[in-house]
Amino acid sequence: MDKLIKGVLIVIGTLSMVLGFIGIFLPVLPTTPFLILASICYIRSSEKLHRWLMNHKLFGECIRNYQEKKGIPCKVKIFAIGSLWLSIGYSALFIIPVTMIKVLMFGIAAGVTIHILSFKTLE
């Protein structure tokens, strides 16, 4: 593979990983899809970075559970759904003035909640 393409994939993977990390604290950003994208970019560009990501203390288990369709731990589901609704609820009720945007935000929150709940709950 061309060195330029590998470099671009490493940059995209790293940006995705940073966004995934930010998504831990901002429920509006979906953590897992960004980490999956980082994993895909790294597996195609750098075996060392992919191995590091898959063995990472914070991210590795999340990616493996998602890829192997094992599920999501109960504590993670509760935290994700709770922080999602708190942040979107606060934003929609106190910050966003446009009613249609508020409705859209609550619709997105409902969709993300359904998506999270569709995964098997790990013990």
- 80 and 61 share one domain: no
How high is the pLDDT of residue 1?
Answer: 64
Q: Compute the distance between CA of residue 85 and CA of residue 46 in angstroms, rounded to an integer.
A: 37
pLDDT at 119: 86
Portion of the chain with pLDDT greater than 90, in percent = 55
Joined together, the tokens standing for residue 62 give: 């999340």
CB 10 within 8 A of CB 38: no
Tell me: do 22 and 60 sit in the same domain. Answer: yes
Residues 6+ apart with CB under 8 A from 26: 87
Structural domain count of the chain: 2
Q: Are residues 13 and 48 in the same domain?
A: yes
pLDDT value of residue 59: 87
Q: Which domain holds residue 80?
A: 72-122
Low-confidence ranges of the chain (pLDDT < 70): 1, 27
Residue with tokens 């589901």: 77
Q: Are residues 12 and 59 in the same domain?
A: yes
